[in-house]
Homo-oligomer: A and B are copies of this chain.
Amino acid sequence: MSTTTELTNWQSVHDEVLRRIHTREWKPGDQIPKEVELAEELGCARATVNRALRELAAEGFLDRRRKAGTRVAAHPVRRARLDIPVIRLEIEGRGQKYTYGLLLSERRTPPPEICANLGVTANSDMLHITSLHLADGKPYMFEERWVSVAATPEIVDADLSKISANEWLVLHAPYTKGDISFSAVLASENEAKILRTQKNEPLFLIERTTWEGEKGITSARLVFAPGYRMHTAL
């Protein structure tokens, strides 16, 4: 009854299924027709329906299981895709001027919490780097980072006053596993001074750790200037 015109591409099938979910023709928990049936109804190949349903499952709208069939997700977990760009591109993308200052670069053994994070021993050879990223000359983000020299020996030769450690690592030390967390903290006296703000301001904090296989590469603490908002569409 529904389609006089045929839906012969996967995008339109995707949209049609999503429409039926939105209009609650198919409600959360409901089983939807099997691929062959849908293909027949819509006038396309099963592969096309499969592609559409696969995407919808990846987006969290559908739950699919072999033999059991496909049903509308009972608890639509919405997935936000967070793009995590290099800070420089984030700033330049808004049309602001990006500058960067290396504050400290020393080779030493890490404190215990970093060891725990990265899974390295206390006597590891590491690079400790702090730097400040600025947008239009105003402090934007303060970065404190530990890099394993064992995992990426080339970094000791990099000129980290020209390119930020983050950007260098992105280009030279791809990782296989990463962890990222977001939270709110109060500005310490030191952070407040560097970010040129008050002590006890609420700051947005990102902590990142990355591994290559089982080898810890780097652990970073990124503290953003007051007013920072991370946002995305969903």
Chain A interface (Cβ < 8 Å from any Cβ of B): 21-22, 24, 28, 60, 75-86, 89, 170-171, 174, 176-186, 200-205, 212, 227-234
Contact A170 B202 (CB under 8 A): no
Q: How many copies does the complex hold?
A: 2
- Chain B residues lying within 8 Å of A203, measured Cβ to Cβ, are 184, 202
Please state if A80 and B86 are interface contacts (CB–CB under 8 Å). no
Query: Separation in Å of the A192 CB from the closest CB of chain B?
Result: 13
- Give A231's nearest chain B residue, CB to CB: B181
Q: Among the listed B21, B78, B84, B230, which residue makes an inter-chain contact with A84, where contact means beta carbons less than 8 Å apart?
A: B78
- CB closest residue in chain B, given A86: B75
| A202-B176 in contact (CB<8A) | no
Q: Which residues of B contact A80 (CB under 8 A)?
A: 81-82, 84, 180
Evaluate contact between B181 and A234: CB separation under 8 angstroms: no
User: When the two chains form their complex, are residues A231 and B179 in contact, meaning their CB atoms are under 8 A apart?
Assistant: yes
- Minimum distance in angstroms from A226 CB to a CB of chain B: 8
A186-B202 in contact given A79-B82, A81-B79 (Cβ < 8 Å): yes
Say yes or no: A233 contacts B179, CB within 8 Å. yes
Query: Which of A22, A60, A78 counts the most chain B CB atoms within 10 A?
Result: A78
- The answer to whether B200 touches A182 (Cβ under 8 A) is no
